[in-house]
Amino acid sequence: MGFAEQLQEIIGRLPRGHQTVLFSAALPKLLVESARAASFFLVREDSKAAVLLHLLHNVVQPQDQTVVFVGTKHHAEYLSEVSGP
């Protein structure tokens, strides 16, 4: 995927006691150790967008910071549009 190093840097900068939730269609070997220490959900392909939107709207608090990795600029624009303010 090419973002393991960046993700490790982000995780390293987070304060102690934070919650980490990773969503990935495929989890690269380099992130397996990080994933073991994090929360994760197994979600069917056709439900991923709905589950992500549910979490963003109903679980993530307004003061929380969230990083979502997507495959393309189109996916980022779509997610920004459907997730609202």
pTM attached to this predicted model: 0.55
> What band does 68 get if pLDDT is binned at 50, 70 and 90?
confident
Average pLDDT over residues 9-16: 81
**For residue 57, what pLDDT is reported?**
87
**CB of 44 within 8 A of CB of 18?**
no
pLDDT the model gives residue 2: 62
- Measure CA of the first residue to CA of the last residue in the chain; give whole Å: 28
